[in-house]
């Protein structure tokens, strides 16, 4: 019996606001609940969404009233969150606090307070930051503060891991790479049989791909493209500078000029859409470029299945969930080779381009040619993607992190000291054992040890951070006096049936996944 934990996910960004981080938290939480843990989510109050909510599956969401300053990020008051946070944590008997997103000050505060209260903390980083501009420098310093005393960090890609390790001066061993996932069920190609009955999905070919004997019910017929059949290129992104809209604007006329019988569908909105429209007018491409404007996440699949190629010209991307979604819809992906994107999809699904206009045009040309030669088995993509990324897998791997930091997995196993011992002889081993207990896995809660960690943050910042930590500790003592633990009610857990966990784990009856699904179900289940 694996240990179960009571986990609090803390992030500024959560539903009803749409977005990648939001759905990540939701999917991960439901999957963890399915695995027997108790998960609550703490976020700030959104308009029309205050108090405590229950979502599907007994997922409880606390909407803490907080001042929102910019793009639903709360104002960074270092200590003001503590009383509420402590109350929630004690009510729910939380063991592990799991924060998300480096721009969320709620998450950073929660990690600080949780450490003060003696809880284990995990942080998931979803984004990449540079080191050059002033905003990044400030954010990186704050991240360093928050992560000086975290137990473990999860990053969504290896590039993201490198970035986070550099930004927060972390030990690379305490950073795990656990990718995002997609709900493959929601991104089926056109004509793909819907597999809503769980029985049908529990037979998915464990054989992998390309299946020598594809089960006839699941593999859609091959789409054979004639030499003059129209090819549709789909672009779905917010039209911002860092999404590479400039590249797109420059490349579209050249691609269309070089390849007759191609057309574009562009979905999304943003400040750069004016440039796109201008480009269309200027080159008189109204009949070959269709701009759909903003689309909801639930409609993304319907847009994607209209195309053959997905073009992703982004300039920076930590993971790039959208290209996984596109591949899952059976689209051939053309994307720029930036950030974590090269790690995400195998080579036979993608054509990579440098972030240059010429190269993007050439790569798209290559993709079109490959499709015209019918070399790419796009109809197999869905099955393959489904096997690569699933939230169940993400939840399992996250669970291992929880096990590691709470001591269920031995430290040596989690951090691989045996490896060190083998390689290094007795010397390295003794060195590590000497500092045992101060290793990241078993971070000591003693105030002096914590202060030591914070002190290393910088010449001035280190001292400042130490002062903050000390004040936080004093507040904690004060709260213990004024609001003693005994006075706080213990919240009863959500009653659950014992669920038989599907040993296959992949997909199947546990997929609650869909956002729309969530919305539909969450509406009647408003309890308080």
Q: Please identify which residue in 343, 470, 494, 522 interacts with another protein, judged by CB under 8 A.
A: 343
Rounded CA gap, 473 and 114, in Å?
11
Q: Tell me which residue of 348, 463, 401 sits closest to 176, measured CA to CA.
A: 401
Rounded CA gap, 77 and 69, in Å?
12
**What residue spans of 169-287 are helical by DSSP H?**
198-201, 245-258, 273-283
User: Rounded to the nearest 10 degrees, what angle do helices 134-147 and 105-117 cross at?
Assistant: 20
Interface region with another protein, contact rule CB under 8 A, candidates 108-116, 213-221, 469-477, 503-511: 503-511
Q: Please identify which residue in 235, 247, 331, 479 interacts with another protein, judged by CB under 8 A.
A: 247
Q: Please identify which residue in 30, 121, 336, 378 interacts with another protein, judged by CB under 8 A.
A: 336
User: Considering the complex, what minimum distance in angstroms separates the CB of residue 342 from another protein?
Assistant: 6
- R_g of the chain computed on alpha carbons: 25
| Residue 172 contacts another protein per CB under 8 A | yes
Give me the residue label for tokens 């137990």. Answer: 151
| Residue 386 contacts another protein per CB under 8 A | no
| Residue 4 contacts another protein per CB under 8 A | yes
| Residue 148 contacts another protein per CB under 8 A | yes
User: Considering the complex, what minimum distance in angstroms separates the CB of residue 493 from another protein?
Assistant: 15
Query: Looking at beta carbons only, is 69 or 274 nearer to another protein?
Result: 274
| Residue 2 contacts another protein per CB under 8 A | yes
SS3 state at 91 = helix
Rounded CA gap, 501 and 490, in Å?
28
Q: Please identify which residue in 175, 183, 329, 331 interacts with another protein, judged by CB under 8 A.
A: 175
Two tokens, residue 130 = 């540079």
The residues near 406 (Cβ < 8 Å, ≥ 6 apart) are: 3, 5, 95, 96, 120
Q: Tell me which residue of 255, 313, 262, 266 sits closest to 288, measured CA to CA.
A: 262
Residues within window 255-274 making contact with another protein, judged by CB under 8 A: 272, 274
Rounded CA gap, 390 and 471, in Å?
42
Count other Cβ atoms within 10 Å, centred on residue 486: 6
Query: Looking at beta carbons only, is 12 or 383 nearer to another protein?
Result: 383
Q: Please identify which residue in 214, 259, 269, 275 interacts with another protein, judged by CB under 8 A.
A: 275
Rounded CA gap, 52 and 62, in Å?
5
Two tokens, residue 323 = 């290209």
| Residue 99 contacts another protein per CB under 8 A | no
Angle in degrees, CA 196, 202, 205, rounded to 5: 115
Q: Please identify which residue in 249, 273, 328, 364 interacts with another protein, judged by CB under 8 A.
A: 249
Interface region with another protein, contact rule CB under 8 A, candidates 55-63, 90-98, 298-306, 412-420: 412-420
Q: Please identify which residue in 189, 307, 330, 462 interacts with another protein, judged by CB under 8 A.
A: 462
Residues within window 100-139 making contact with another protein, judged by CB under 8 A: 128-132
Q: Please identify which residue in 77, 337, 374, 525 interacts with another protein, judged by CB under 8 A.
A: 337
Number of residues that bind another protein (CB under 8 A): 127
User: Considering the complex, what minimum distance in angstroms separates the CB of residue 82 from another protein?
Assistant: 23
Q: Please identify which residue in 420, 464, 468, 491 interacts with another protein, judged by CB under 8 A.
A: 420
User: Considering the complex, what minimum distance in angstroms separates the CB of residue 343 from another protein?
Assistant: 5
Beta strands in 84-230 (DSSP E): 96-100, 120-125, 152-155, 175-177
Q: Please identify which residue in 18, 191, 198, 210 interacts with another protein, judged by CB under 8 A.
A: 210
């Amino acid at each position: 019996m694996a240990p179960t934990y009571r986990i609090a996910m803390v992030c500024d960004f959560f539903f009803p606001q749409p977005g990648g981080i939001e759905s990540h938290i939701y999917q991960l939480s439901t999957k963890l609940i399915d695995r027997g843990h108790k998960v609550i989510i703490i976020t700030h109050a959104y308009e029309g969404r205050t108090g405590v909510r229950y979502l599907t599956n007994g997922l409880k969401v606390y909407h803490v009233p907080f001042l929102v300053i910019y793009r639903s990020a709360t104002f960074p008051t270092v200590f003001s969150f503590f009383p509420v946070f402590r109350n929630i944590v004690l009510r729910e008997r939380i063991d592990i606090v799991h924060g998300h997103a480096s721009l969320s000050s709620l998450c950073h505060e929660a990690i600080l307070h949780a450490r003060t209260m003696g809880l284990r903390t995990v942080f998931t980083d979803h984004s990449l930051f540079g080191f050059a501009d002033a905003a990044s420098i400030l954010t990186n310093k704050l991240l360093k503060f928050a992560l000086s005393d975290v137990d473990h960090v999860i990053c969504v890609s290896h590039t993201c891991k490198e970035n986070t390790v550099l930004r927060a001066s972390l030990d690379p061993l305490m950073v795990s790479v656990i990718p995002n996932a997609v709900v493959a069920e929601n991104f089926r190609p056109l004509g793909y049989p819907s597999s809503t009955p769980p029985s049908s999905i529990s037979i998915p070919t464990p054989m992998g791909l390309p299946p020598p004997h594809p089960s006839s019910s699941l593999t859609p017929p091959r789409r054979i493209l004639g030499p003059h059949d129209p090819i549709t290129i789909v672009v779905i992104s917010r039209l911002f500078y860092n999404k590479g809209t400039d590249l797109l604007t420059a490349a579209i006329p050249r691609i269309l000029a070089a390849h007759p019988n191609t057309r574009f569908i562009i979905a999304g909105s943003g400040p750069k859409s004016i440039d796109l429209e201008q480009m269309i007018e200027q080159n008189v491409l109204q009949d070959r470029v269709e701009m759909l404007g903003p689309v909801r996440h639930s409609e993304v699949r319907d847009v994607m299945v209209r195309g053959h190629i997905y073009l992703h010209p982004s300039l920076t991307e930590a993971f790039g969930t959208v290209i996984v979604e596109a591949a899952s819809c059976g689209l051939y992906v053309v994307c720029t080779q930036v950030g974590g994107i090269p790690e995400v999809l195998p080579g036979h699904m993608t054509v990579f381009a440098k972030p240059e206009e010429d190269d993007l045009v050439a790569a798209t040309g290559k993709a079109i040619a490959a499709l015209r030669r019918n070399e790419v088995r796009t109809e197999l993509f869905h099955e393959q993607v489904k096997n690569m990324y699933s939230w169940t897998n993400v939840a399992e791997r996250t669970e291992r992190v929880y096990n590691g930091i709470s001591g269920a997995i031995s430290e040596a196993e989690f951090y691989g000291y045996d490896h060190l011992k083998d390689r290094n002889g007795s010397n390295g081993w003794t060195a590590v054992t000497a500092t045992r207990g101060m290793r990241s896995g078993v971070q000591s809660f003693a105030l002096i040890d914590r202060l030591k960690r914070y002190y290393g943050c910088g010449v001035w910042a280190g001292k400042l951070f130490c002062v903050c930590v000390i004040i936080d500790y004093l507040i904690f003592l004060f709260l213990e006096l004024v609001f003693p633990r005994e006075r706080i009610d213990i919240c009863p857990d959500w009653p659950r049936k014992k669920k038989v966990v599907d040993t296959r784990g992949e997909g199947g009856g546990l997929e609650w996944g869909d956002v729309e699904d969530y919305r539909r179900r969450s509406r009647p289940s408003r309890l308080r």
